[in-house]
Structure formats: structure tokens, C-alpha cells
Structure 1
Amino acid sequence: MRIKKILGLSSAFAATVLGMAAAIAPTPVRAQSEPVPVISGPAVSVEILASGLEHPWAMAFLPNNAGILLTERPGRLRIWTKENGLSEPITGVPKVHAHSQGGLLDVALAPDFFRSRRIYLAYAERRDKQHSATTVGYGVLSSDLKRIDAFRPIFRQEPALSTGQHYGVRMAFDPGGRDLYIALGENNQPATSQQLDHLQGKVVRIRPDGMVPRDNPFRSLRGARAEIWSYGHRNPQGMAWNPWTNELWVAEHGPQGGDELNRIQSGANYGWPLRTKGQGYDGKPIPNASTTLIEGLIEPFHYWSVSPAISGMAFYNDERVPDWQHSLFVGALKEQALIRLQFDEEDGHIVGEERLLQDLKQRIRDVRVGSDGDVYVLTDENNGQLLRIQAKP
């Protein structure tokens, strides 16, 4: 059985995995890819709000325009405010494994931040002399914005397999604030994405306190991790809720070619490494991987045949810039650009693609839309910047 050979699973468990995927997944549809029409939106202005950040990775907006939390991969958390600019590092941040792609990564506010003042951090944690993995926890942000109190981990990716690659990790609460979704990389161990007893290459769903919801799709499957919501992912770099369809979307790196946008569904298998549109970095096909449809696997909503190395993403749903409505902004690391995908308002398909900020020649790591209707961007550089992008009248 080919699946058994690739994944190192028993025949019975491998059959159960694919059987459940086929039962849960909708009929596969053909993915949308380039070429899509090149479009032009309004001209933009770029304002540098902060510089001197060392490989900033993520941002989160505090309520009432109180500031923007910023993570730096070496392990620092700062806040930018309009009044005071960039703060000194906030104390109380957990120790991170800042090696290669690892370090302090994503940040998110608790849905009840007004009451609890909890902030969630995702980071690489060293587990033994050779291996590390992603950990998520929360602490309480002090009222003076200078420290995190009572930080505690609530989730650990297991087993720990990374030697510095493919942590992935983005966090998103559902619109109702009931559940926390965490997108996890496969630690550069492709077969683990299909192994339900591993948390590599998965989107997991937990409660804000770390407990596992009773209706998670694999909770009753013997040998599977109860936290898993979807699987078959490679290296997720962006995650956001689609405001028009109420779907969770994930942006993830393919190998060489095949970066994907995926609509995340409960129990669904997104294929890596059984199916990919890309190839190895040596230019050769991915061993044993199919480039055509496989029953039970979900095709990406959109993919790039030449990888921009997509990163953070944000849907635009603000009336202040009509030309940007029904758009998705996606950062690009390799292409050093901000990509805008325009959707058809009726059928939701991509009808155009625009490249912005290419003249900056900086890697775009995170993208968010502020309450002011502007787009905010972090550049992943030694001298990283927080930028505000505004549409010109």
C-alpha cells in the first residue's frame, strides 16, 4: 500500500485516515492558479511608523487605538504607540529558541481582552539538545504596557522534531471568540503531516484555556491527537477569517512552486506530501507525490506555480477604500511584495492580482488591516519596519 510506505503507518490506520478524509471532504475541485489578470488599484502612500526592529514577525492591535503589539523573532515583544513610538522590550516574555526560523513568532489578543488583558504568544521552544517545536501560551498585559504577568503555556506541539525549520504557526480566534485555531508547520518532516498521532503539519483547535473541544473531528479516533482540526499542511505562514464566507483561510508555503491558499474545513486533508503543485528545491519531483487530484484530498483554493513565499494575510472589508473591498492582502517574502487578490463579489473567485511595495525591496512578513481602514505591514529584515499603507484619494 503506497500510503503505508510513505507514512510509516499500519495498513489499518492508513486506511482509516484516508477513509475518514474521503467521508469528511467535499468533492475535490480544480484549484485556481495563474495566470489571473494583472490589475491596478489606487496609488498608495507608505509611512514608516517604526524601524530598527530585528526580524519582526507579527502584530496585534490593542483596542481603542492604544497601540500595536509587535514580536521580534529573537524573543522581544514591543508596543508601538502614536504618542511614544516604539517601546523598550516588554518583560515577562517566555524564553524562546531563537535559531534559524525559530524564535518569538505570532501574537494575538484574547477575545475578552477588555476584561482579562490576556495576550497569546506562539514561539519556538527547545525541548532537548537537538529538537524544538512550537508552544503557545498566554499572560496578562499590565495596564502600563510594560510587562506580561503570569505567563503559562497551554499548548505544545508534539513530538518535538524541528532542528530549526518549518514551525509555521499562526493563531486566530473564531469570530465568536469561542475557539483558538493554531496553524503548525511540519518541522521539515513531510510524512508527519499525514500522521494523526503527530501535531506536525496540522491546524489544531483548542479552547482559549487549552482544553480540547468535544466535537473536534478526530477526538474519538484511537491513536489520533484530539486537538487536530485539519491536516496535510506543509508550512503555514498566514491565517485569517474570511468575513464574507465565515471560513478560516490559511496561506502556506509549498516546496519550490505550489504556494497555497486553503479554506480550512473540519477533518479535511490538504494533501502534503501526497499531493503538491510544486517540486523539490533541487528541481526534481517530490518523491511519491502526485500532481493530479487524489480522492479524499482537498485542492487549494488558489496556488502559485512560482512561489512568492507567501506570509501573513488579511482580508479587506472596509468601506473607506471601495477599490480594495473584497480583497485579500498577502505578504511575500521571496518576491518582496504585498500581493492584493481581488475577488468577484458574487462567486468569490479571484478576478485579479496586484503587486504593491516592490520598490521597497523588503521581505513582507505580516499584514493586518487597522480599524482606520489602512493596511499595516511588517518587513522581515535585520532593520525591520512597521509600515502604514494608505490609498491615495
Structure 2
Amino acid sequence: MGIVLGAGLCASFAILASCSDHHEASPTVKVDTRPFTQGCRGFTTRPGAATIERAYPQVSFEYAVQLVHHPRDAYWYVVEQGGTIRRFADRPDVSESELVVDLRDTVAMLGLEDGLLGLAFDPSFESSGNVIVKYTRKAEETDAAARLAVARLHSDNGGATFEPASLREMLTVARPQTIHHGGPPRFGADGYLYVPVGDGGWDPEMRAQDLSMIEGTVLRLDTSVEPYAVPKDNPFVGTPGARPEIFAYGLRNPFGNTFHPTTHELWVGDVGLATWEEIDRIVPGANYGWPIREGAHCKDGVECDPTGLTDPVHEYLNYGGSAIVVGSIYRGQAFPETRGHLIFGDFVNGRIEELAYDGEKAQAKLLVESGLNITEMTEDANGEILVVELGGRLFRLVPATHVQAVPELLSETGCMDMSNPKVAPRGLMPYEVNMPLWSDGADKYRWMNIPEGTKIKVREDGSWEMPVGTVLVKNFFNHDRPMETRLLVRHEDGEWGGYSYEWDADRKEARLLEGGKAEYFDGLGWSFPSRSMCMSCHNAAAGRTLGLMTPQLNREIEYADGHRENQITELTRAGWFAEPPGDPSTLAKFVAREDTEAPAADWARAYLHSNCSHCHRPGGPGRGTANFTFGATLAETGCGLTPELDPLGIENAEVIAPSSPEGSVLLARVSAIGAARMPPMGTAVVDALAIDHLREWIATTPQCD
């Protein structure tokens, strides 16, 4: 949601009874004569026709990017981005995986999008023992950030192991940045290898429109000879100056891809920049328009000539926080009405949908808001959908059997005293954070609760793991007018869902929104997030709850009865922790936003953690390699780092240029309005206080130690 949310349900996943039994022994407030709330109303699963369940729950992996089945034997192969491939037996009760090859001496995971990117079994595997792998490694050139390679790898034992020494590169290309390498290679029904290649990052030279280069293309190769041959019917064979390997072009980052089982056409999900995600049906010789267009729209709203450009089959707005992942054409039995439809999802927001296409019109339909950072969706032997998340767990898409409707009215949730929405209902725990996410100056009021008999676990990094059954409540006010209430709910499957309620003009009720919308409140433009937008920020890498961590809540606040206490102490007395964090005076503490006398570095680092690190961190969905978590080193934060995206006209730009606010893209993006703005969602008003502190911090940082 792009917000810092609280937590709490009084019971798990039904219409809940009174919370009083849970809180009478250790009430949230010491002197509060109001009646207890009748309990936040939970719901068992996320809305949609489907839900997800763990598949092969006893095995998990690190930075999993692809799941591939052996062409004959009952084994799954998992490609781990760091440079390894593991396999496990295709049995529900499998409890271990085995390493089949370690390529870490060759593969370089230089950034969040580098590393081992894909595996494809050669059609002749049974006789040749060959597979194709795609990866990045260090570049030989001083002016390149990485080198992308497509290579053969050999097995002498049917795929039980692969010999690293057998690796033979067939095609390599220098990459200008460490992003946008495209998705895994796949063999088509024609026996040829199709290799999606991204544009390599920020593309002012329009590489994706240059047929002499392979950036922003799908390549088609004949691998029956070494290193490879070009199929004679490739569309640009014989075209002067063109690379004959190119099958289609004008793509930005063609990541997820699949072949249609009957038409044998390649379908690709092309990751957009700041506005549109698209699905393309790949036609020989077609130009999909990047960077002239994003989706079917002229890039950045600048007038362009669409002549000769191929429209996507489907597109959707990404609100600056999406990355499309195309899965498989559904062939299973669990969803009869979905057969023949394309399954696609989103790496950032976890939304999984189906796309019906009749050759002319395409229509998408939600299946589930999974909340996962999806890297691939593939099908098992029965045609059912398996989902791979970057964190290494595998899931299966199954029908939702007991969906309980989300309450349409906020008054029906039991999470709000409708007569006083600034104050937590009795039995729910109010809280504040030291450094809140900037929300265009809106006032915010937060509270949380957890189910009876559950506890909060404090992780090693100080973030809090909230129990299943948690609901998080946050209210947004423009002066004294309530605008929006957001709930973040941890469902019974352990995953989270976000829900937004818009307050009526008379301020007496708030109503559930099915999607995002924009509104004005007394001159303040306000963006209501969709459910998928909520999970873009509340992603798995960020721990979902964002603001609930010890350094943020290590703060004294005033409770409803007028007494003041440190929140860590109050929650400890209430018995909410599995293991109390300890004496607040000895614990980490973020600078408070209102502490204008604090050192600029401490203020700035706390601000970056609260406003940027939910995306820009290891494993997070943010583009580039900068890590804005509070504990990152200055160099990891981006000091001295060349930006991988548009430098916004700054000459010799760095993410953070020491002693040079004017040379720092970070400051430019926080100061921007529109497509260049960071964070990209939920804010349209510049945070002047943050800009002052960031400028002072950068100006007084002499070097990147």
C-alpha cells in the first residue's frame, strides 16, 4: 500500500466474538471505560476464484527463478539465481533436493537482475545430454557492466549431474547495465531455441530499435550445430546490417514466456517502465515499439508515429510498482472455465490472473492476490499451475473452497469506533512510528491487535513477525476529515492482503474499494491503492508489515487514559511478545521525523529506510542495486554508484554523489513529480523537509566509505 500499517485481529478467520477475554487481563489502556470492540471481522482467504497452497512444502530454495521438469524422468529442476541448479523428486512428500551443478565460479550475480537466469533441455537431450543455460558474468570490457551469455552444459548421467567444465558459450553480448536481461530460453515445437533478451537498461540510444544489435529482442537459434546456426526462415536473414538471429524486436525486458500448446506461438510478458505492463504474441519480424512506445501508448505521453508497430494483446497500468510474469496456457481440470486461457502474474504485487483471447479481444480476470514475489509460473504433468517465488518456496494454484466476503462497510469490520476514528477502539493497541512514510502531509492514526493466544516474534534485524490472524489498521485524515482507512490482514495461509475503505462525505461510514482510484479532499489529491498496489510495497522481501519493527516503535506515546509510556514497554507488559526485545534504552531507535535537530545522516537514513527500502533492498522488487535499509553501508546505499536507469539529465550522475546534491539522482527523484518520482506510488506532493535533510546529508558526506 505504500504505507506503514499496524496489526491485529482478536480471533482467527471467522466472524469474531468479543475481544474482551483476550485483553481484560492486560488491557491496552489502563483507564478506559468504553465498551470493548466486538472484534475485527476476519475472512478466511483472499478474494478471487483461486487460492494458493504450498507445493512440495518440505523443500525450498534460494533466489529461485525457474522450475523445469525433466523431459522424461520424474524430477523437477530449480534454477537458483546465484549460480546453482538443484533437483528434487516429483513426489508430494519429497523432503530434500540435490545439487546437480554449481556454476558460481562462472556466473556473476552483480545486481538484483543478474545471475543464472534460465535452463532449457535440448530436444535431443536423451541422446546428447545437453541443456542450454542463460546467465550473466563479469564483462571483459571496461565500459560494460556485465556480459550476458547463452551456453551449452552437458550431463553424462541423464541429468543427475552436469559437469561445470563442459560449459560452452555459444553467444555472448556486453551489457551496459546489470538489468533487463530477459527471461529463460525455451525450445519451440520447431526444435529451435528462442532467447528473450532485454534492452540492457536505460536506453537513450534506442538499442531495442536497432536491428544491428540484439538488445530488446527475441532470438531464434538452431542449436543442432555448434556453436549455433541461424534458421533460414528467420525474418531478417539477408537484411543488410541486421542481426539474422533476431526473430522479433522492440521489447524492453521480455521476462516470463511460454509457448501455446496448439498454435505453438510464443507469448511474452514485457516488463514496462513506469506505466504499462504488456503481454505480446510474438510474430516473426514484428516490432513491439519500445522505447518509442510503452504498451500501446507513446512513451512519456510524447507524440509518436505508431506506423509499423505491433500492439500488445493485453496491457495493464502498473502504477510504478509492477513487473509482469507470463506463465502457461492452462490445460488442467481444477478450473474448467480457465482451460485454454493464459495464466499471468506480477512479480511485484503478486496478483495472478487469467487472460482469455479469441484472436481479436483479450479479457483478464483475477484468480488470486497471492502476495508473492512471483518469478515463474509453470504447469505440472496434469496441467495444473505451479508458482515459484523468489524467496524459494513453491506453490500450487487451487480453487478457493471457502471464500468469505470482505466486509463492504468499515462499520462491519469491528475495527473502528465510527464515532471517533482517530482513537483505537478499546481492546486494540494504538501505536506510532518514529519515521513514517511520507503521505503528502496527511495525518495518520494507527492501531493493531493479534488473535488470542498468539505472540509477536522479533526477528534478528528488529522487524516483527506478526501472527496469523493479524489485522493492521491505519486511518488517513486531511486536517479533521477522514479520507481512507486501510486494513492489512494476515490470512490463514500465512500470506497477507490489503484492503482500502473510502469514507463518505458525511464522515459517518467508509466503503470497501474493489480497485484503486483518485479523489480530491479539500484541495488534496489522494490516491487510493488497489489491493495489488498494497502488496507492491508490503512485499515478502520487506517482511510485509514495514513499520512494525523495534527501531520504529521504540518511542513514548500517550494512551487513551492520558498516561505516557514507551511502546515497547507497554506491549511487553501486555504480554504481546514471544520474547520481549528488552530495555528500550538499550535498543536501536530511528530518529523521529519531528526531531529537526538530529544529525542529518541519521535523519536521512531513517527516512530512506521508511520510504524506499521496502523495494530497494536485497531480494526486493526495486530496480537497481541500491540498498536503502538502515543497516546498509554507505556504498551499498548507492554512494558512488552509477544509476542504471535514466539519470534525469544529470551529467556524470551517481545515485548518491558525495558532497554533490546536484549530482545525486536520489535527491532528484525524491524532488520530482510525475513518472520520475520516487517512491512511485501514493504520493504527488514533494516532501520539503525530507529534501532539506537529504540535501544536507549528501552535501556533508565527503566520500563513500
Q: TM-score, normalised by structure 2?
A: 0.45
In the other structure, the counterpart of 1:324 is 338
Deviation at 1:239, TM superposition (A): 1.2
Question: Which among 100, 103, 111 is matched to residue 93 of structure 1?
Answer: 103
Q: Distance in 1 between matches of 2:213 and 2:87?
A: 35
Letter in 2 for 1:196: L
In the other structure, the counterpart of 2:170 is 154
In the other structure, the counterpart of 2:123 is 111
In the other structure, the counterpart of 1:343 is 356
In the other structure, the counterpart of 1:269 is 287
More strand by share: 1
For 1:42-84, what per-residue CA distance to the aligned partner results, in whole angstroms no more than 9, with x for missing partners? 5554434355422111121013452111111111111121375
In the other structure, the counterpart of 2:215 is 200
SS in 1 for 2:109: coil
Residue 77 of structure 2 corresponds to residue 66 of structure 1: no
Q: Distance in 1 between matches of 2:95 and 2:369?
A: 23
In the other structure, the counterpart of 2:584 is none
Q: Structure 1 stretch 52-61 or stretch 306-315: which is displaced more?
A: 306-315
Letter in 1 for 2:213: H
- Tell me: CA distance 1:142–1:78, structure 2 relative to 1, closer, same or farther (3 Å): farther
> Any residues of structure 2 matched to 1:172-187 within 5 Å, and which?
172-176=186-190, 178-187=191-200
For 1:173-219, what per-residue CA distance to the aligned partner results, in whole angstroms no more than 9, with x for missing partners? 1113x211111001114210011111110111101242111222222
Deviation at 1:350, TM superposition (A): 2.8
Q: Distance in 2 between matches of 1:266 and 1:87?
A: 40
Deviation at 1:347, TM superposition (A): 4.7
SS in 2 for 1:127: coil
Q: Is the 8 A contact 1:203 1:231 kept in 2?
A: yes
Letter in 1 for 2:248: S
Q: Distance in 1 between matches of 2:175 and 2:114?
A: 13
Question: Which among 387, 390, 408 is matched to residue 380 of structure 1?
Answer: 390
- Tell me: CA distance 1:375–1:261, structure 2 relative to 1, closer, same or farther (3 Å): same
Q: Distance in 1 between matches of 2:87 and 2:236?
A: 39
Question: Which among 230, 250, 256 is matched to residue 212 of structure 1?
Answer: 230
- Tell me: CA distance 1:93–1:147, structure 2 relative to 1, closer, same or farther (3 Å): farther
Question: Which among 362, 373, 379 is matched to residue 363 of structure 1?
Answer: 373
Q: Is the 8 A contact 2:344 2:355 kept in 1?
A: no
In the other structure, the counterpart of 2:84 is 76
Residue 153 of structure 2 corresponds to residue 139 of structure 1: yes
Question: Which among 270, 277, 284 is matched to residue 252 of structure 1?
Answer: 270
Q: Distance in 1 between matches of 2:248 and 2:212?
A: 13
Question: Which among 314, 317, 331 is matched to residue 302 of structure 1?
Answer: 314
- Tell me: CA distance 1:88–1:43, structure 2 relative to 1, closer, same or farther (3 Å): closer
SS in 2 for 1:114: helix
SS in 1 for 2:274: coil
Q: Is the 8 A contact 2:334 2:399 kept in 1?
A: no
SS in 2 for 1:329: strand
Deviation at 1:166, TM superposition (A): 0.8
Q: Distance in 1 between matches of 2:291 and 2:124?
A: 38
Letter in 2 for 1:114: E
Residue 243 of structure 2 corresponds to residue 243 of structure 1: no
Residue 61 of structure 2 corresponds to residue 53 of structure 1: yes
Q: TM-score, normalised by structure 1?
A: 0.78
Q: Distance in 2 between matches of 1:242 and 1:116?
A: 26
Letter in 1 for 2:119: V
Letter in 2 for 1:73: Q
Deviation at 1:139, TM superposition (A): 1.6
For 1:302-337, what per-residue CA distance to the aligned partner results, in whole angstroms no more than 9, with x for missing partners? 111226311241111235642330221123111123
Q: Is the 8 A contact 1:254 1:278 kept in 2?
A: no
SS in 1 for 2:241: coil
- Tell me: CA distance 1:245–1:194, structure 2 relative to 1, closer, same or farther (3 Å): same
In the other structure, the counterpart of 2:366 is 354
Q: Is the 8 A contact 1:50 1:80 kept in 2?
A: no
Deviation at 1:137, TM superposition (A): 1.3
Deviation at 1:364, TM superposition (A): 0.6
SS in 2 for 1:91: strand
SS in 2 for 1:63: coil
Q: Is the 8 A contact 2:332 2:384 kept in 1?
A: no
Taking only aligned residues, the RMSD between alpha carbons, in angstroms, comes to: 2.6
Q: Is the 8 A contact 1:318 1:325 kept in 2?
A: yes
Q: Is the 8 A contact 1:317 1:326 kept in 2?
A: yes
Q: Is the 8 A contact 1:184 1:235 kept in 2?
A: yes
Total equivalences in the alignment: 340
Q: Is the 8 A contact 2:51 2:397 kept in 1?
A: no
Q: Distance in 1 between matches of 2:74 and 2:155?
A: 13
SS in 1 for 2:184: strand
Q: Distance in 2 between matches of 1:228 and 1:144?
A: 32
SS in 1 for 2:215: coil
Letter in 2 for 1:174: G
Q: Distance in 2 between matches of 1:117 and 1:392?
A: 41
For 1:154-183, what per-residue CA distance to the aligned partner results, in whole angstroms no more than 9, with x for missing partners? 222x3x12331111132121113x211111
Q: Distance in 2 between matches of 1:334 and 1:362?
A: 8
Letter in 1 for 2:195: I
Q: Distance in 1 between matches of 2:134 and 2:147?
A: 10
Percent of residue pairs bearing the same amino acid type: 24
Q: Is the 8 A contact 1:170 1:236 kept in 2?
A: no
Q: Distance in 2 between matches of 1:165 and 1:293?
A: 28
Unmatched 5+ stretches in structure 1: 1-38, 280-284
Q: Is the 8 A contact 1:341 1:350 kept in 2?
A: no
Q: Structure 1 stretch 309-318 or stretch 254-263: which is displaced more?
A: 309-318
> Any residues of structure 2 matched to 1:23-38 within 5 Å, and which?
none
Q: Distance in 1 between matches of 2:344 and 2:222?
A: 27
In the other structure, the counterpart of 1:20 is none
Letter in 2 for 1:193: A
Deviation at 1:260, TM superposition (A): 0.7
Residue 231 of structure 2 corresponds to residue 221 of structure 1: no
Q: Is the 8 A contact 2:117 2:183 kept in 1?
A: yes
Q: Is the 8 A contact 1:171 1:180 kept in 2?
A: yes
- Tell me: CA distance 1:186–1:220, structure 2 relative to 1, closer, same or farther (3 Å): same
